Structure 1
Amino acid sequence: MARMKMNDICPTGHENQSGTHLEGNMQSRWDDSELRALTSSYVGKGVNEDLAIRTYTTRLLGREPRLVLHGGGNTSVKTRMVDALGVVHEVLCVKGSGWDMGTIEPAGLPAVELAPLAALARIPRLRDVDLVAAQRRLLLDSGAPNPSIEAVLHAILPHKHVDHTHSNAIISLTNQENGEELIRDLFPDTTVIPYVMPGFFLSQRIRKELDESPAPKHLILMCHGIFTFSDDPRQSYDDMIHMCTAAENRLDAGAPRPFVRTRLPARAPGVSEVAPLVRGALARPSDVEGRPVRWILDFRTSEQIRAFVDGADVSDYATRGNAAPDHSIRIKRFGLVAPAPASGELEVFAAALSASVRTYCNEYVAYFERNSARAGGGLTQLDPLPRVVYVPGVGLFGVGKSAKDAAVCADIAEATVDVISRAEGIGTFVALPEEDLFDIEYWSLEQAKLAKSLERPLHRQVAIVTGGAGGLGLATARLLKSEGAEVAILDIDAERVDLAAFETGAMPVVCDVTAPSSVEDAIHQVACRFGG
């Protein structure tokens, strides 16, 4: 693990550090030699050749963050497989629940009997929980992961390879007042589907469309994403890249920086000063006295992020709603816009931020109550705290129970910034109504996934271990990590610090604890990395 330098992770309020935003339009990553090598390797291990090819193409899509983020999107291939009894079946191998497209293995594309799966789209009514159960009954391997909730949709599309992504550029176009007009003008031969909640209802809607027009070339789902498909895996992949690039080119014709900058304090405090105040404002009392429920932060800033958070109307466009509906599962309907901090006035900022958090929570409770009543009640409210905090003059913070969760929220927030910024450059970003976003946030299938994550005793806590590169210090770091804490290892030997951090998954910090300035620098780094 490479050591982090102070300026890499802890910029001042006036410095712009790059996040995950990628400049320039996406390019095809297809490489025939890589495809042959991967396919040969998997086939040599007994993997179906179609499935091996599908694994390669799925990874290509999953490694482009402007297409897919953290479990989003899905792919499939139709092929033949033999079950444990030697019987040959026509199957759909589709991305399984819990698998990430960028790192997927063949096991992450479970095989489902094709004909009975496709037939489910003609059932008049089916709850999503019953759909999941039906799909499990059709698995060739009973121990395989749950097929995607959109497996039925993949099954009814009349092509061997099907690709689905939540392209930032496509969503920037669909989420406009004239979004459908923009899409039809840019892609006249593409079938456009109005927004329908993912799952069974969407499969039914596509089934109806296919009955009326059985040979679609592509599908664009308003406020959701894009499907490409072909019997040739290269063609389906190329269509995805070409269409998303065309969408990017259309957005490039708009204003690159559409937001008017607000008047900010003459000097903003550094991230290491702001982050602990954000973390403190989000903390909530627990049943254990003196041990509040804390959160871990992940800070991001870039030219695009700063233009977004520094906009005069950020409290408007940042709170209209998420870019994609599934983002509500991770970062709620929208994030919190904090007041702009001024250097030397941190107490004022802390008080204003705490008030903003209280207001956000109260509004979230009201949002839950009105939508729970609409949905018939019986739902359990999630905690009302934001998962993204936008700080004018500084950047944004992802908020999570762990560093990993916080990074996921920060990644999604960056995608949100990108989608809204590009959409505002050509018009006005329009999110789905809160009712639709609520239905996704409280979708029973997705909430069940999140509920499975158990917290260890030191989850949400941050620990610094001095002399952590060896001996008792290293043992302590291992123990703290095993109990769920985010750990920073401090030691004077750079090489040993790197090795210890690599072994434990901790943050490496070179520090001479006999030098006050070195200790202060180390504390700043940890505050920037985890929030305090």
Structure 2
Amino acid sequence: MEANLQTPTFNHVHYKWDDTHAETLDPLGRLVYRSNILGSDQRITNTGGGNTSSKVFETDPLTGRQVEVLWVKGSGGDLRTSKRENFSSLYQDKLIELQDLYASKPDTGLKSPAEDQMVGMYAHTTFNLNPRPSSIDTPLHSFLSGRHVDHMHPNSIIAIAASKNCEKLTKEIFGDEMAYVPWMRPGFELGLAMKHIEAKHPAARAIMMGQHGFISWDDDDKTCYELTLRLIEKASEFIEQKYQANGGDASVFGGPKYQSLPETERRQILASILPYLRGQVSEQKRFIGTIQDDEKILRFVNSSDAPRLADLGTSCPDHFLRTKIKPLYVPWNPQKEDLETLRKKLAKGIAEYRKDYEKYYSKCKHANSPAMRDPNPTVVLIPGLGMIAWGKDKSESRVTAEFYNCAVEVMRGAEAIDTYISLPQQEAFDIEYWLLEEAKLQRMPAEKELARQVVIVVGAGSGIGKQTAHRLVKEGAHIVCVDMNLGAAQATAKEITDQYGLGIGVGGSGISNCGPAIALQGDITNRAGIRAMLDEVALAYGGFDHICITAGIFVPSDTTGHIPDDKWALTFNINVAGSYFVADEAAKTWRDQGLQGNLVLTTSANAAVAKKGSLAYDTSKAAANHLVRELAIELSPLVRVNGVAPATVVSGSAMFPRDRVIGSLAKYNIPFKESEDTASLVEKLAQFYADRTLTKSPITPADQAEAYFLLVTQRLSKTTGQIITVDGGLHEAFLR
């Protein structure tokens, strides 16, 4: 009880330190713990932003002596999700000795070749063969005297750092406890500058980093954690007092200029424009979208000052590496202008944005700068609607959304206490096109075959559809699991998300706050329902690329050998008309996007083999075969249409429930007992069907999934209007 009374109280951050837990951990474990609880609060640092360190004495594996080791979050890590393996370890004395090596070079200085070369030297100071690459911020942690160091990117601190009078405000708010360093690119020179600042300001336990963030230190890890929180709290309190004194929400960003549209109308308009917008920004490489339309982002995009502030761009380097130099602000009046006007303004805005980006590159580039990257915006702001963020995958687009949310909060705070300023364009360019940053991009693993793509799998709740969903996500696809049985679709989506993770991003509103897979209920015989489903996909990911329809129905004949008329209609409605309805509605989205896609239907070997007992099913699949050919013509050249023709997929198929399996065993005079479990009965029937094929192997949903994968990739990019049979080799079904 007494310990609880001593716990510090904060209003603007969460205090999460638990002595009982911390005492069970070794020094590295305590660093991981401190990092995780700092990173878990978005008001303390953004996803992937900031880093932490501890100087720990370890036994040198070479000498057996105790040596001081700097453990610091490695390159590319995220504090919230970091584990022990995400931290690099370096000999502290060797890092200090690098200062002499650097001083001996003739071409030292900020942004000098010598400074960049020092990054390559960090690997030579590695302790115990740790493979984790070191962060560019390593010198900051090494050269400060504190045994524990936190470098964070809180919105409240960055608001001060991005204010016109940052140095003056730092002194006013923090006194001697926090010193100040003007903007400097992260690296060796910044580490040396911090070392000198600490020596000059012995009372300081933190340094404000102009237009960047702050760094704090102490010799006790818990005290360091509490210091970090206390400084953020002090900054937040100062900003909120000024904010309220200036009129608060009612007057923020110059007050409202437009009103938000009602949520239902917002989502309808967003669903309508997102595929078009995705096609435009995917001019070079495809992007995945995330929408954000919460109160804070709407307050910003609707404001009088939004055009001015958006044009200034972001300040913190972490932010603009994702959001680019600035967002695209679309001057659309939601109260007076219609959807067609919005489309025209989007087209004009994107064209102008590309030209502006090309000018920015041409103006700022150096002789050795990397080639210009994609000039399309990654953040689009629309009054009345909100924000649309783009990234190479869902996680990255959510991070992009998160970072611009942070930028908005930074601008809110800076404008409340002073005037917001962004980095000069040249400084921003030198970060964006830094050769070390380019080298990091070049080291990234090659993207998977279906990366940046969204695939809708209809029938994903079971059997072939479930296997297809798992096969495609393995190659980098985002999967929309659609099924009449929503619970089954949700189960597949959960399996995918559990296996591949939700991603590190936290941005996104509604269904757009998702991971690599979502689940939707879908009845392919209901055109309105299909449209609603496709609109939800647009809101989740910005659009889609491919559709695999694995849903189907088999209605056996009754005891007299007949199939009732209504079951005939149902069979054709699902197996033929449903696929057409999906294709017809999807065609609107494909045309809006202007991106090439694939439609894969499911037919059957039965389409080519006449036999007793499945008249409605077999003829519906024959019609589906021809539907593939007709749609290939209708949707060309933008969309390739092909079919997969399975045969006798018993195991894992929803079309072979126990009663049908028993009926088939009896039909073919295969011995069985009613008391046998379903799995045993299925195995007998599957083997019977396998023995009829040329390959003599049971046919599984996974075998079918391989064909769907093949048809949605570029491996068969010149194939359309064709049927691929996956039947084990049924000679009766050979084309003739």
Q: TM-score band (shorter)?
A: 0.7 to 0.9
Instruction: Map Cα deviations across residues 482-526 of structure 1 (whole Å, 9 max, x no partner).
Output: 222221000122322221011223211122333333323221211
Instruction: Provide the C-alpha distance between the structure 1 equivalents of 2:277 and 2:494, rounded to a whole number of angstroms.
Output: 29
Q: Give the equivalent residue in structure 2 for 1:230.
A: 218
From 53, 56, 70, give the equivalent of 1:76: 53
CA contact 2:256–2:304 (8 Å) conserved in 1: yes
Deviations 1:231-256 (A, max 9, x none): 11111111111110111111112143
Q: 1:65 to 1:383 in 2, by over 3 A?
A: same
Q: In the superposition, relative to structure 1, how do residues 466 and 512 fare at CA in structure 2: closer, same or farther (>3 Å)?
A: same
Match of 1:379 among 343, 348, 370: 370
Q: Note the C-alpha offset of 1:143.
A: 4.2
Shift of 1:336: 0.8
Instruction: Measure the CA separation in 1 of the matches of 2:88 and 2:483.
Output: 46
Q: Of 430, 433, 437, which residue of structure 1 is paired with 2:421?
A: 430
Residue 120 of structure 1 corresponds to 98
Which of 522, 525, 535 is the aligned partner of 1:511? 522
Q: What does 1:390-405 align with in structure 2 at a 5 Å threshold?
A: 390-405=381-396
Mark the runs of 5 or more structure 1 residues left unpaired by the alignment: 1-22, 40-48, 287-292
Match of 1:42 in 2: none
Distance 1:378 1:159, change over 3 A: closer
Partner of 1:445: 436
Report the residue type matching 2:21 in the other structure.
E
1:132 and 1:146 in contact (8 A); partners too = no
1:334 partner SS: coil
Partner SS for 1:261: coil
In the alignment, which residue of structure 2 is the partner of 1:274? 273
> Which of 484, 493, 503 is residue 501 of structure 1 equivalent to?
493
Shift of 1:64: 1.4
SS of the residue aligned with 1:228?
A: strand
How far residue 274 of structure 1 moved from its aligned partner, in angstroms, is: 2.9
Equivalent in the alignment of 2:256: 261
Deviations 1:23-46 (A, max 9, x none): 961121112233235x1xxxxxxx
Q: Pick the aligned partner of 2:80 from 85, 102, 114.
A: 102
Distance in 2 (CA, whole Å) between partners of 1:53 and 1:228 is 17
In structure 2, what residue type is equivalent to 1:57? R
Name the structure 1 match of 2:587. none
Q: Give 1:342 deviation, angstroms.
A: 4.9
Residue 212 of structure 1 deviates from its aligned partner by 3.4
Supply the distance in 1 between the matched residues of 2:343 and 2:445 (Cα, whole angstroms).
Answer: 31
Output the CA distance in 2 between the equivalents of 1:450 and 1:148. Answer: 15
Q: Distance in 1 between matches of 2:489 and 2:303?
A: 41
Partner of 1:333: 325
**1:252 aligned to 217, 227, 240, which one?**
240
Partner of residue 12, structure 1: none
Would you say 1:91 and 2:69 are equivalent positions? yes
| Secondary structure at 1:89 match in 2 | strand
Q: Distance between the aligned counterparts of 1:366 and 1:440, measured in 2? A: 17
Partners of 2:455 and 2:282 lie apart in 1 by 17
Q: TM-score, normalised by structure 1?
A: 0.87
Secondary structure in 2 aligned to 1:319?
A: helix
Match of 1:303 among 295, 300, 311: 295
Q: Does the C-alpha gap of structure 1 residues 143 and 228 become closer, same or farther in structure 2, counting only changes over 3 Å?
A: closer
**Secondary structure at 2:163's aligned position in 1?**
coil
The one-letter amino acid paired with 1:90 is: E
Question: Do the aligned partners of residues 265 and 322 (structure 1) sit closer, same or farther apart at CA in structure 2, a change above 3 Å counting?
Answer: closer
Q: Helix, strand or coil: the match of 1:34?
A: helix
Largest Rg, 1 or 2: 2
Q: Distance in 1 between matches of 2:329 and 2:121?
A: 43
Write out aligned runs for 1:442-481 (5 A): 442-451=433-442, 452-481=444-473
Kindly indicate whether the alpha-carbon contact (under 8 Å) linking 1:264 and 1:340 is maintained by their aligned counterparts in 2.
Answer: no
- Residue 52 of structure 1 is matched in structure 2 by 29
Q: Deviation per CA, 1:356-413: give whole Å up to 9, x if none.
A: 11111111111011111xx344432111111111111111111111111111111111
* Kept after mapping to 2: 8 A contact 1:296/1:531: yes
State the AA in 1 paired with 2:180.
V
**CA 240–211 in structure 1, closer or farther in 2 if over 3 Å, else same:** closer
Query: 1:318-337: CA deviations, max 9, x gaps?
Result: 12121312322222111111
Q: CA deviation at 1:456?
A: 2.3
The whole-number CA distance in structure 1 between the counterparts of 2:258 and 2:130 is 58
SS of 2:53's equivalent in the other structure is strand
Give matches, 1:166-245, under 5 Å: 166-189=153-176, 190-214=178-202, 216-245=204-233
1:242-294, Cα deviation, whole Å (9 max, x unpaired): 1101111111121433122224698755321232232133231x6xxxxxx42
Q: 2:538 aligns with which of 518, 527, 532?
A: 527
What is the distance in 1 between the residues matched to 2:97 and 2:326? 37
Partner of 1:321: 313
Contact 1:281 1:350 survives alignment (8 Å): no
Q: 1:209 to 1:426 in 2, by over 3 A?
A: closer
Separation (CA, whole Å) in 2 of partners of 1:204 and 1:274: 50
> Equivalent residue for 1:20?
none
Are the structure 2 counterparts of residues 453 and 168 from structure 1 closer, same or farther at C-alpha, using a change threshold of 3 Å? farther
Q: Aligned pairs, how many?
A: 491
**Aligned CA distance change for structure 1 residues 513 and 34 (closer, same or farther; 3 Å):** farther
Q: CA deviation at 1:70?
A: 2.8
The runs of at least 4 consecutive aligned structure 1 residues that moved more than 6 Å come to none
Q: Using the alignment, how far apart are the partners of 1:408 and 1:131 within structure 2?
A: 30
CA contact (8 A) 1:335 1:389 kept: yes
Q: Which residue of 2 aligns with 1:151?
A: 138
**1:328–1:440: 8 Å Cα contact kept in structure 2?**
no
Q: Is residue 275–residue 542 contact of structure 2 (8 Å, CA) maintained in 1?
A: yes
2:342 equivalent in structure 1 = 349
> 1:430-472: per-residue Cα shift (whole Å, max 9, x none)?
1121111111111222233233142223222221111111111
**d(CA) in 2 for partners of 1:424, 1:378:** 34
Letter in 1 for 2:200: E
* Structure with more contact order per residue of length (Cα contacts < 8 Å, sep ≥ 6): 1
Code of the residue aligned with 2:79 in structure 1: it is M
User: Corresponding residue for 1:8?
Assistant: none
> Per the alignment, do residues 330 and 200 of structure 1 end up closer, same or farther by CA in structure 2, a change over 3 Å counting?
same
Kindly provide the amino acid, as one letter, of the partner of residue 113 in structure 1.
Answer: Y
Shift of 1:211: 4.2
Specify which of 150, 163, 167 is matched with residue 163 of structure 1: 150
Length-normalised TM-score, structure 2: 0.64
State the distance in 2 between where 1:131 and 1:200 align: 7
* Partner in structure 2 of residue 482 of structure 1: 474
> Residue type matched to 2:468 in 1?
T
Query: Matches of 2:339 and 2:287 in 1, distance apart?
Result: 20
Aligned-partner residue type, residue 209 of structure 1: I
Give, in angstroms, the shift of residue 156 of structure 1.
1.6
CA–CA distance in 2 between the matches of 1:143 and 1:454? 24
Q: Do 1:465 and 1:477's aligned partners in 2 also have CA atoms closer than 8 Å?
A: yes
- Percent of aligned positions with the same letter in both sequences? 30
SS in 1 for 2:381: strand
- Structure 2 CA distance for partners of 1:333 and 1:31, relative to 1, 3 Å: same
Distance in 2 (CA, whole Å) between partners of 1:504 and 1:443 is: 36
Name 1:10's counterpart in structure 2.
none
**Conservation of the 8 A alpha-carbon contact between 1:75 and 1:162:** yes
Deviation, 1:127, is 3.2
SS of the equivalent of 2:175 reads: coil
Residues 522, 92 of structure 1: CA spacing in aligned structure 2 closer, same or farther, 3 A cutoff? Answer: same
Q: 1:188 to 1:215 in 2, by over 3 A?
A: closer
C-alpha RMSD of the superposition: 2.2
By how many angstroms is 1:69 displaced? 2.0
Quickly say closer, same or farther: Cα 1:463–1:342, change in 2 above 3 A. farther
Q: What secondary structure is seen at the aligned counterpart in 2 of 1:78?
A: strand
Say if 2:20 is the partner of 1:33. yes
